Structure 1
Amino acid sequence: MNLFNSALGKNITFVRPAYFIISGFSGLPNIKYYYVFLCFVYIVSVLGNTVVMAVIYLDHNLRTPKYIAVFNLAFVDLLGSSALVPKLLDIFLFNHRYISYNDCLTFVFFSYTFLSMQVFNLVALSYDRLIAIMHPLRYQVKVTHRFMLCLIASFWVFAVTVDLVLVGLLTRLSFCGSVVIDSYFCDHGQMFRMACNDFTPSHVLAVLIIALIFTCPLEFIVLSYICIGYALSKVATAQERYKAFKTCTGHLSLVAIYFIPLLITFTAGSQIHPNPRIINLSLTSVFPSMLNPIIYVLQTQEIKVSVKKLLKVRIETKMKVKKVIR
């Protein structure tokens, strides 16, 4: 606390604006069609993730450590898209660009928490595949229900704690100048750079968050698949290698969808015009939530079998009911 006070100054008067203005997507022609597209993405995301959660919950055969992580990913995707897309549509489609100070901080907390948990779930699934392929005989000992639940719970605690500190540091800032946020949501980086007083603690935390929630997870996932590739190279037959690698295709697709657009955006940096950059980041925030359930339903044999079984039971139940009525 003394560090914060010294950084802020002893006699500073805090200026907390009544509202911020979200100015993203400015000057783009026919941008309302993009908002309609986002609405479609949100509806598909809600339906898809709800289906995945329902299938895993109803089918006892899917209550394995791997599908605990998949269930949590669907849950996070559902909450994350619900925290971001409706507010985004309200801001831009209905031109409600003014957002109150407290609402903006709340928006920051939930958006960053759910985005962080998306990455951590990919890490959990990566670890699951690593142990399943490199230590198949010890998989059930190393990756238990308790272990996966504890891992996911620790990720939740970490994400919530970090983002509470993130928001707490924003409350220590004074906004005596511009209140216009040049982004599609209450962007932490945009906000602390508008502060009139010293924002060093917020800047340092932002750098740490990029390392802990983007760089380190990506490095872990890449190293995991290098190890998986090495392990598969030792497998005797090509058919066995293909069968083992096929179990990773769903997870690899999710990793590519989430990380590749961010890597392109961060690598290009200031060379990208603000509007394409904002659109790319907004798609990165909402698109994975829609595609994750589609990928898992189409590429995961267990879920496809479970969906077919549940549909078959439902159809047979309806037919029995009709016979009773007749």
Structure 2
Amino acid sequence: MAFVERVFSGVQPTGNLHLGNYLGAIVNFVKLQETHNCIYCVVDMHAITMPTDVWGGPAELARNTREVTAAFIAAGIDPKKHIVFNQSQVSGHAELAWIFNCVARMGWLNRMTQFKEKAGKDRENASVGIFDYPVLMAADILLYRATHVPVGDDQKQHLELSRDIAQKFNNDFGDSIRNNGFNDGLYFPLPEPLITGPATRVMSLRDGTKKMSKSDASDNSRINLTDDADTIAQKIRKAKTDPEPLPTEEKGLEPRPEADNLVGIYAALAGVSKQAVLKDFGGGQFSSFKNALVDVCVAKLSPIAAEMKKLVADPGHVDAILVDGANRARAIADETMRRTKDIVGFIRQA
């Protein structure tokens, strides 16, 4: 059958959104809304799979949910043309996840590498949610029968699981799906990864071999989306470099992770290639390049930080955006669940 093309993506509200989140995901979210029907979800149910000291408790979760929403809007996502909401307001996510729990197989989940990374050595004390959250992720996507999902390298395995679950559901309930009017026996699509161009992988300002992360003990390792111009300038000028001048060719960046990272950040923010950056700054010292990088970062990020600050100061407005988005998302989700329950054989109120 022909599925309506729809993009779904979610961001966890874990606080301290940084440049890596912006360049790695949010920039693409903004671009996608020009060409696709988009649903952007703040996945607060995923956030609580980790211990409380990680996600901060109830007050922190609410604050972070509003901050992620503010970042979406400040970066240019239009919540009137597209859907922006928080996951927990739509009960279909949890309902469909349970049905998918009964379709997915333990062997599939045992192969998920992120569980091994997040649970660490003490797996016996990890929450069931950490083990099972890829199934909830599949439910997030398929509740809206989304056809495309923008993914990074670390999420490809989870998207494959979503496809496996969709395919097994279609196979297990094929006759019932056909009896409910889907003559080809397909109810859920097999969502495709959406490749929007080379992913911008932003590394720590203190160590070019590690990803920029909110969990890094040093705030100087990252540029937060809420940082003001002076803080951005200070962090960039303190960013780790090496004593050599910038190379004139992109190949010269390969053995120099810190140089590669800073050039990559400039290129991504300016919308040019790394080679174009090196054409302008190759052969020069880092000091002058860092001054130019400060200018680009401040020009691009300061308006976002200012708008985020304005939005976060008005939580009623942000909550209204989330409620409106949840109402529109629920209309799609309720239709999916109505048909899913009929296919499975659940008796429901007419």
The interval holding the TM-score normalised by the smaller chain is under 0.3
The structure showing larger relative contact order (alpha-carbon pairs under 8 Å, at least 6 residues apart) is 1
| TM-score when normalising by structure 2 | 0.25
| TM-score when normalising by structure 1 | 0.27
